[in-house]
Amino acid sequence: MANKKNNITFSDIAKYTNFSKTTISRYFNHPETLTEQNRNIIAEALEKLNYKENKVAKILANGCTEFIGIIIPNLYVRYYSEILNQILSTYEAFGYKFLVFISNGSKEDERTYLQELLAYKIEGLIILSHTLPSIELANLHLPLVAVEREDVYISSVNSDNYQGTILACENLSSHDCEVFLHISAPTTRTTPAYKRVEAFDDYCEKHQLLHHTFMEEMGASHEEVKSHLTHILEQIELNYSGIRKGIFISGDTYANVFLNLLIRKYGYLPNDYFLIAFDDSPISREAIIPISSVSQQIDKIAFEAVELLISQIQAQKERPAFCEPVHKIISPVLIPRETTEKN
Amino acid sequence: MANKKNNITFSDIAKYTNFSKTTISRYFNHPETLTEQNRNIIAEALEKLNYKENKVAKILANGCTEFIGIIIPNLYVRYYSEILNQILSTYEAFGYKFLVFISNGSKEDERTYLQELLAYKIEGLIILSHTLPSIELANLHLPLVAVEREDVYISSVNSDNYQGTILACENLSSHDCEVFLHISAPTTRTTPAYKRVEAFDDYCEKHQLLHHTFMEEMGASHEEVKSHLTHILEQIELNYSGIRKGIFISGDTYANVFLNLLIRKYGYLPNDYFLIAFDDSPISREAIIPISSVSQQIDKIAFEAVELLISQIQAQKERPAFCEPVHKIISPVLIPRETTEKN
DNA sequence: TTGTACGCGTTATCAC
DNA sequence: GTGATAACGCGTACAA
């Protein structure tokens, strides 16, 4: 009944039921073409012989792996772990399985991951790492969606960094801030986050507001970040003392550190400080004083990314032609909290 | 040269080089059995025809998927995202690929994930979710390693929760705390974290210390946690005012909330409060006052889990007999920070 | 050292 | 409705 490897196959079921392998296959893929009686016979046999399906064989025969590859920089940054969380959760909706690689920033390694993913015949790729240029990725001729990274030659889903920044500025305006400050790590022009820099400047210049941007490399460790922000805080206290400061910090990990520095200095958040962060990761809500933040709606980004990818997978199956990159934008939402809405 | 699907296979390479498919296969799997000259010829052909390997076919032929399945509760909790991070990173060391499912706590769904994983012929499973009892998992007769969950019938890797708690208590002792308090969410006897409760009680009773355990359901949201801890803090202030309090909080997310409550009340950490948390996730270091914490050495746990799983996979290949469950314990390390080491 | 022939477990294309 | 038969792409006895 079972072969040496103790693996029940269609052949075994076929022998047992006196049908052919074809009929067993149809039982799974086109059950409506069988009589109910025969369906029952097969169902019983499957049960009795304890049949387990083998998708590897299925893939080889019909070419559909239902695999999507993911290359993500790390899971240490909240944004990434949450977006992976949301992407993996789309299994319920779409049924695609995910092969996940963590990229450590080495191009060499990342190319290895790509080869491995291609070898497993992934149907599409979601890429969050920013190591390889999009032109190289486009040359894979594989359905592909980038999330929050350079996306000149490939499809992508991003949050509207420009609009989100405007929301933050408008909130700071509504609190009559007298100087607008932007704290950010350096970004390059092709990066989605660069839009935050642009938007901040645009807004301040349009409304003729006193403003300044602190843009510097913050370092990788918490201690480095803390020391950089300590220095920035000193400058702010020196140059803008006594006036209402609206501070927009790109990234709420930084914002949390900055807030903690203020609290350790004063024991409370001084009245002339108004803080808004970006991302709205849990730390914003859990900070000692809950931090106002621009939420990226990560669940939507993830869902749209998978949906867009699948639509491209299907498009390519029908006509394997070149697809124009599609760029989707998700609107962010301002979550006002205590660092701006004081009472 | 290429077939209709534009897929180069061994056949194509064979025709092109006038070797047989077998020789091409050997080029990859036993290159030493070819002359260097022929190897070069084949290498050139592979290059010229742009051959891409197909691991799906390979799997079907030799049965080795190099897939490991992972079922993890979520990536919202830092411990899980970090352990997934570390597990995925073992690709460098072992080459196994990971199929990841997020379990939402439904048994039904989890069984679906298991079936899916089995259909893809995973060679082993790492399970962190605690939805299904280990007896059911053991019945899969699949190499299996549990991490930080009930593990009566299956192999596991856990941190030494008992020893970690003792380390915490010893530190609090060294600061001459007069009352020992333990704040924890409820745990059940078969859960690894239950050992923290036991160890705390054992230590306090052995040393005849005044002690109390606050064990209550904290709720899922930050706001709920905050409200529970506010209440606990009130009780502590009421019952133990004026004496040195050593507080052991199981989980540094809770510890951070508790610390923030103290700082918002006093503007600083009062001298009679000594705090130690468990887990040492980034929040411990990044809290407004860095929190002393018992580190679980997640990197080691992840590595040992994968290593143990692979050893079981190999053992089963050699003699597919029943394997006694193996339980590995990783020693935690106390990371002293400002909430205990005051100056 | 190299080639032949068959197997892995399923799907697809025809016939019947 | 059902059944042969040939793919799918690679590995491996066994033979040469």
**Residue-wise pLDDT tens digits, A136-173:** 999 999 999 999 999 999 999 999 999 999 999 999 99
Do B226 and B202 belong to one domain?
yes
Q: How far is CA B13 from the centre of its chain?
A: 44
Do B204 and B128 belong to one domain?
no
What was the pLDDT predicted at B6? 66
A6 touches strand C (CB under 7 A): no
List the domain range (segments joined by +) for residue B303: 67-158+299-329
Q: What percent of chain A has pLDDT over 70?
A: 97
CA of B36 to C1' of C1 (A): 12
Strand order in the sheet with A273-279: A211-215, A179-184, A245-249, A273-279, A292-295, A333-335
A35 touches strand D (CB under 7 A): yes
Question: For residue A113, which amino acid is it?
Answer: Y
Split at pLDDT 50, 70, 90, the class of A343 is confident
Do A181 and A289 belong to one domain?
yes
State the average pLDDT over residues B115-130: 96
State the average pLDDT over residues B45-71: 94
State the average pLDDT over residues B141-150: 94
Q: Give the whole-angstrom CA distance, residue B295 versus residue B281.
A: 8
CA of B62 to C1' of D12 (A): 9
Q: Does the beta-carbon distance from B52 to A283 stay under 8 Å? A: no
Domain C-terminal end among B62, B79, B103:
B62
Q: Which two tokens stand for residue B83?
A: 């352990």
Distances (CA, A) of A290 to A184, A250, A257, A284, B281: 20, 16, 13, 6, 20
Scanning the structure block, which residue is given the tokens 């306090």?
B204
Do A53 and A126 belong to one domain?
no
Q: Which of B304, B31, B271, B262 is nearest to B155 (CA)?
A: B304
Do B173 and B283 belong to one domain?
yes
Domain C-terminal end among B30, B47, B62:
B62
B330 - beta bridge partners? B159
Do A165 and A249 belong to one domain?
yes
B319 vs B31, which has greater pLDDT? B31
Q: Which of A102, A268, A287 sits opposite B88 (nearest CB)?
A: A102
CA of A192 to C1' of C8 (A): 47
Domain annotation covers residue A87:
yes
Domain annotation covers residue B337:
no
Give me the phi and psi of B321, to 5 degrees please: -100, 180
Q: Which of B8, B107, B67 is nearest to A54 (CA)?
A: B67
A25 touches strand C (CB under 7 A): yes
Q: Give the whole-angstrom CA distance, residue B84 versus residue B96.
A: 14
B33 touches strand D (CB under 7 A): no
* pLDDT above 50 for B2: no
CA of A283 to C1' of C6 (A): 61
What was the pLDDT predicted at A306? 98
What was the pLDDT predicted at B303? 98
Do B141 and B189 belong to one domain?
no
Question: For residue B101, which amino acid is it?
Answer: F
CATH of the domain at B22: 1.10.260.40
Residues 6+ apart with CB under 8 A from B307: B94
Q: Give the whole-angstrom CA distance, residue A278 versus residue A267.
A: 24
Contact A279, A78 (CB under 8 A): yes
Do A281 and A188 belong to one domain?
yes
* pLDDT above 90 for A6: no
Q: Give the whole-angstrom CA distance, residue A151 versus residue A184.
A: 21
State the average pLDDT over residues B196-224: 95
Domain annotation covers residue A93:
yes
Q: Which of A88, A256, A284, A337 to mutate to test the interface with B (most CBs of B within 10 A)?
A: A88
What was the pLDDT predicted at B316? 84
* pLDDT above 90 for A1: no
What was the pLDDT predicted at B76? 87
Q: Which two tokens stand for residue A186?
A: 């350096």
Signed CA dihedral, B307, B89, B53, B102: sign only: positive
Residue B121's nearest nucleotide, by CA–C1', is C9
In 10 A of CB A227, how many CB atoms? 14
Q: Give the whole-angstrom CA distance, residue B213 versus residue B191.
A: 18
Split at pLDDT 50, 70, 90, the class of A76 is confident
What was the pLDDT predicted at A317? 80
- Give the total number of structural domains in chain A: 3
State the average pLDDT over residues A64-73: 96
Closest residue on chain A to B114 (Cα): A52
B11 touches strand D (CB under 7 A): yes
Residue A20's nearest nucleotide, by CA–C1', is D3
pLDDT one-digit tens code per residue, A254-287: 999 999 999 999 999 999 999 999 999 999 999 9
Contact B101, B85 (CB under 8 A): no
A215 touches strand C (CB under 7 A): no
Q: Which of B91, B256, B260 sits opposite A101 (nearest CB)?
A: B91
Residues 6+ apart with CB under 8 A from A50: A8
Domain annotation covers residue A341:
no
Residue B33's nearest nucleotide, by CA–C1', is C1
Scanning the structure block, which residue is given the tokens 């350790």?
A264
Split at pLDDT 50, 70, 90, the class of A5 is low
What was the pLDDT predicted at B5? 54
Split at pLDDT 50, 70, 90, the class of A51 is very high
CATH of the domain at A148: 3.40.50.2300
For B327, the 3-state DSSP assignment is: strand
Nearest-5° Cα angle at A249, A246 to A255 = 105
What was the pLDDT predicted at B168? 98
Do A218 and A136 belong to one domain?
no
Residues 6+ apart with CB under 8 A from A202: none
Do A190 and A311 belong to one domain?
no
Q: Which two tokens stand for residue B244?
A: 């040195």
What was the pLDDT predicted at B320? 60
Average pLDDT, chain A: 93
State the average pLDDT over residues A122-126: 97
B61 touches strand C (CB under 7 A): yes
Domain annotation covers residue B284:
yes
Q: How far is CA A289 from the centre of its chain?
A: 27
Q: How far is CA A16 from the centre of its chain?
A: 49
| Distance from the first to the final alpha carbon of chain B | 77
Domain C-terminal end among B19, B39, B62:
B62
What was the pLDDT predicted at B192? 86
Q: Does the beta-carbon distance from A102 to B119 stay under 8 Å? A: no
Split at pLDDT 50, 70, 90, the class of B4 is very low
A100 - beta bridge partners? A70
How big is chain A, counted in residues?
A: 343
Of A1-10, B86-95, B145-154, the one with minimum mean pLDDT is A1-10
Give me the phi and psi of B102, to 5 degrees please: -95, 125
Question: For residue B8, which amino acid is it?
Answer: I
Q: Does the beta-carbon distance from B119 to A253 stay under 8 Å? A: no
pLDDT one-digit tens code per residue, A166-215: 999 999 999 999 999 999 999 988 888 899 999 999 999 999 999 999 99
* pLDDT above 70 for B82: yes
Q: Give the whole-angstrom CA distance, residue A183 versus residue A292.
A: 15
Q: Which of B39, B56, B46 is nearest to B13 (CA)?
A: B46
Task: Please tell me the number of Cα atoms within 13 Å of B45 on its side-chain side.
Answer: 22
What was the pLDDT predicted at A321? 65
Q: Give the whole-angstrom CA distance, residue A237 versus residue B13.
A: 70
* pLDDT above 70 for B3: no
Do B140 and B166 belong to one domain?
no
Domain annotation covers residue A292:
yes
For B69, the 3-state DSSP assignment is: strand
Split at pLDDT 50, 70, 90, the class of B94 is very high
- Per-residue buried b or exposed e for B96-109, using 16+ beta carbons within 10 Å of the residue's own CB: bbbbbbbbeeeeeb
Q: Give the whole-angstrom CA distance, residue B35 versus residue B92.
A: 30
CA distance B253 to chain A (A): 9
Please give the model's pTM, rounded to 2 decimal places.
0.91
* pLDDT above 90 for A319: no
Contact A102, A120 (CB under 8 A): no
A295 touches strand D (CB under 7 A): no
Domain annotation covers residue B15:
yes
Do A166 and A265 belong to one domain?
yes
State the average pLDDT over residues B309-334: 87
Using a 7 Å cut-off to protein CB atoms, list the covered nucleotides of chain D: 1-13
* pLDDT above 70 for B321: no
Signed CA dihedral, B115, B118, B119, B122: sign only: positive
pLDDT one-digit tens code per residue, A86-113: 999 999 999 999 999 999 889 999 999 9
State the average pLDDT over residues B231-258: 96
In 10 A of CB A55, how many CB atoms? 17
Q: Which two tokens stand for residue A147?
A: 């999330």
What was the pLDDT predicted at A268? 93
State the average pLDDT over residues B268-297: 95
How many inter-chain contacts (A to B, CB under 8 Å) are there?
118
Protein residue minimizing CA–C1' distance to C11: A61
Domain annotation covers residue B78:
yes
CA of B46 to C1' of C1 (A): 21
